[in-house]
Amino acid sequence: MPAFDAAPVSRAEPLAALFGPHLAGLCQRTATALEACGHAALLVHSGSLLPVFQDDRTYPFEANAPFKVWSPLDVPDCFIHFEPGRRPRLLFHSPTDYWYKVAALPQDYWTAHFEIVSCPDLAAARAALPRDLAHTAYLGEDFADLANWGVGARNPARLMRHLDFHRALKSPYELACLRTANRMGVRGHQAAERVFNAGGSEFDIALAFLAACGQREQELPYNPIVALNENAAVLHYQMLERQRPEPSRSLLIDAGAEFGGYASDITRTYTAEAGDFAALIGRMDALQQALCAQVRAGVDWREVHLQAHRLVAQVLREADLIGCGVEEALASGVTQVFLPHGIGHLLGLEVHDAGGFMRAPDGGDIERPEGHPYLRLTRTLEAGFVVTMEPGLYFIEPLLAAARADGRGRLIHWPRVEALRPFGGIRIEDDLAVTVTGCENLTRGAFLSESAAR
């Protein structure tokens, strides 16, 4: 495992300047949503520690997204209390404990904007709140005493929809966090590529990723997918083999870092061999860039997804993996054998961020295109959305078997599939910040700046 040699990504001064306007915007849209839904105030819980059954340990804690939108704190049993027109309050959980280190009262770029109250336990938190919470909406899990707190509504669906809808639009502060998360993630990817080239196992590569990101696994936004050879054909491959396969032909790594609560979500595919699979990676990279070039405000994401299938049909044809033209490939559904997931999703506090299907805050979802059940975003893009662009092309045994059985198999050139199957598959994924005229590629920008810095 390499030493941790990455200089910390600077907690850039601009964050302090950006957070105030970000929070002001959040307060404003929350006030509007509360009024529209008939609530007077909002109370958000960060979450509770979850004990392991019959054990004295707990699972790693992760603050929930409705809390993280207010504060990057990752501490259990904290609350945000917001009444429109007043400075938001943070009830900070500060127990007396000599078994665990108690988190210090936060002092950072964001804390000056809150009234912070230190609370040793839940009873103290309740006492710090207004006596009457009958018109307050509570967001979070149930906890033992919540029934006695007298909150007017728990997780009201209509209010949550209003809040989630607007989370798709990122503020300049949120974009700064996402840029930093991308730079951290890219450092991890660069280290992972080096360890793959040096012959490392999946486990070695994952450790190198963590070290170069400067994060422990529970701080990451999701468990890294580190897949060598055929394992790359498992879309959410979760094992980390300690043994290097022989030969080690290809690496698919889907891994991101987290900054300020915001995630990066990045995938790269590498091969050790010159030849057809390397050429296919090159084609998929060009395809991914062609799709990125279509992204701008006003574009219907469903069209981008369908266009991806059209381009994948061309690649399958050019690579001699299918024997039919593009139109027949699309009509038969054979492209879904090789690309069985959505082309991308909203990204933010959650890796698959909330609100991907909403037509409006107050009603109705936008349907997925027929025959594309895994697409996670159907909205028309707006400037300020952050989305992933992640086309893939895989050799997935159960899907190939199904195609062979249902007649699509006659379109597939099986000897070509057999030759490439040992490489598993390809996915290339970048994070894009949508603008009026195009998009900012946060991931490629980070690869450029981090390569220049080395």
> Do 411 and 324 touch, CB atoms closer than 8 A?
yes
443 belongs to the binding site for Mn ion (CB under 5 A)? no
- Alpha helices, DSSP H, located in 61-171: 65-68, 122-128, 157-167
Task: Name which of 174 and 265 has its Cβ closer to Mn ion.
Answer: 265
Minimum distance of Mn ion from residue 204's CB (angstroms):
24
Return the H-helix or E-strand segment holding 119. strand 115-119
Minimum distance of Mn ion from residue 367's CB (angstroms):
21
Instruction: Round to whole Å and give the CA distance between 250 and 257.
Output: 22
265 belongs to the binding site for Mn ion (CB under 5 A)? yes
Task: Name which of 42 and 295 has its Cβ closer to Mn ion.
Answer: 295
Tokens of 211: 């070290």
Task: Name which of 388 and 441 has its Cβ closer to Mn ion.
Answer: 388
Q: Of 166-174, 242-250, 263-271, 299-307, which segment contacts Mn ion by CB under 5 A?
A: 263-271
Tell me 59's DSSP state.
P
In 326-358, which positions are buried (b, 16+ CB within 10 angstroms) versus exposed (e)? beebbebebbbbbbbbbbbbbbbbbbbbbbbbb
The site string for Mn ion over 386-425 (x = CB under 5 A, - otherwise) reads --x-------------------------------------
430 belongs to the binding site for Mn ion (CB under 5 A)? no
Tell me 135's DSSP state.
T
Minimum distance of Mn ion from residue 353's CB (angstroms):
10
- Alpha helices, DSSP H, located in 223-300: 276-292
Minimum distance of Mn ion from residue 281's CB (angstroms):
18
Task: Name which of 376 and 408 has its Cβ closer to Mn ion.
Answer: 376
Chain residues 294-333 in contact with Mn ion, contact rule CB under 5 A: none
Task: Name which of 18 and 226 has its Cβ closer to Mn ion.
Answer: 226
Minimum distance of Mn ion from residue 200's CB (angstroms):
24
Minimum distance of Mn ion from residue 341's CB (angstroms):
9
**Number of residues this chain uses to bind Mn ion (CB under 5 A):** 2
Cα dihedral 344, 346, 350, 355 sign:
negative
Tokens of 414: 């099986």
Q: Of 121-129, 146-154, 207-215, 261-269, which segment contacts Mn ion by CB under 5 A?
A: 261-269
Minimum distance of Mn ion from residue 221's CB (angstroms):
10
Task: Name which of 180 and 388 has its Cβ closer to Mn ion.
Answer: 388
Phi-psi region of 64 (alpha: psi -120 to 50; beta: other; left: phi over 0): beta
Instruction: Round to whole Å and give the CA distance between 270 and 448.
Output: 18
Tokens of 315: 């690649």
Given the rule CB under 5 A, which residues bind Mn ion?
Answer: 265, 388
